[in-house]
Amino acid sequence: MQSHTSFPIKNINTHLTEIKDYFKVAVSVDCVIFGFDGNVLKVLLIQSDLAQYKNKWSLLGDIVRPDEELDAAAYRVLRERTGLENVYMEQVHTFGALNRHPAGRVITVAYYSLVNIHHVQLRVSDFGLHWHAVKDIKQMAFDHKQILDICVKRLQDRIIEHPVGFNLLPKKFSLRELQNLYEAVLGVKFDRRNFRKKFLSMGLIEDLHEVENDVRHRPAKLYKFNEKAMWKNTRFLNVNSIT
């Protein structure tokens, strides 16, 4: 005779108790806001206001409101802190370690965004809000260093697949600035001639027939991004061919 495993039958009170426990879990968003300045990839951080993380920096984030979509919450954080809208943003990963937040169980969804650092109008709060060079960051509050590292890796993968790096540049830029950006993000050095030949051959940039102003070195030609050509190529950048 075949035996059957019996399971306890849950009544409505059991279900209500479980649901009440489930709603003790909070959901937040954390935004890794990247900028590029002075040949350095930077991230916007705020000083933690928790005693456990005194003198440590954290990412910008907030709890998701009951009537708010995840993406909307991330854009709200970005808009409130930088004054920017309609910027490139991508959802990256969910972090749910049991003890990641001292206030209780908080599951966070990480996003990264790419902004022109010179267009950002910082909304300063009681705690410092500053740009930091990514390569200099060793420790952060919460698990934010782990979040930052994963978002940097996603940016590195994405910038090879698609020309998203143009979101970090001014509308008019030189080939030198473009190469400096890719070297800062990927952590590699490119052959100058090969790099320029590659980008000029893809049709992604247009010659503006203008040159830089107020520079000490020889003025370089200026280019702009050709948005129509943006998504024509996948995996458009072969790093090995231009290093």
Each residue's pLDDT tens digit, 70-105: 999 999 999 988 888 889 999 999 999 999 999 899
Beta-strand relationship, 106-114 and 88-95 = antiparallel
The mean-pLDDT minimum among 8-22, 62-76, 215-229 falls in: 8-22
In terms of residue numbers, what domain contains 32? 21-159
Comparing CA positions, the residue from 143, 160, 35 lying closest to residue 94 is 143
Last residue of a domain, one of 159, 181, 202: 159
Comparing CA positions, the residue from 148, 205, 149 lying closest to residue 177 is 205
- pLDDT reported for residue 120: 85
Does 154 lie in the same domain as 70?
yes
Residue 1 lies in a domain: no
Angle between helices 175-186 and 192-202 (to 10 degrees): 110
Residue 132 lies in a domain: yes
The single-letter code of the amino acid at 141 is A
Task: Indicate the number of domains in the chain.
Answer: 2
- The phi and psi torsions of 124 (rounded to 5 degrees) equal -75, 135
Does 221 lie in the same domain as 150?
no
Last residue of a domain, one of 159, 192, 213: 159
pLDDT averaged over every residue in the chain: 88
Read off the pLDDT of residues 184-208 as tens digits, 9 standing for 90 and up: 999 999 999 999 999 998 888 999 9
**Whole-structure pTM value:** 0.87
**Could you count the other beta carbons within 10 Å of the beta carbon of residue 94?**
11
The CATH number covering residue 73 comes to 3.90.79.10
Last residue of a domain, one of 97, 130, 159: 159
The single-letter code of the amino acid at 239 is V
Beta-bridge partners for 111? 31, 91
DSSP helix/strand/coil, 210: strand
Does 203 lie in the same domain as 118?
no
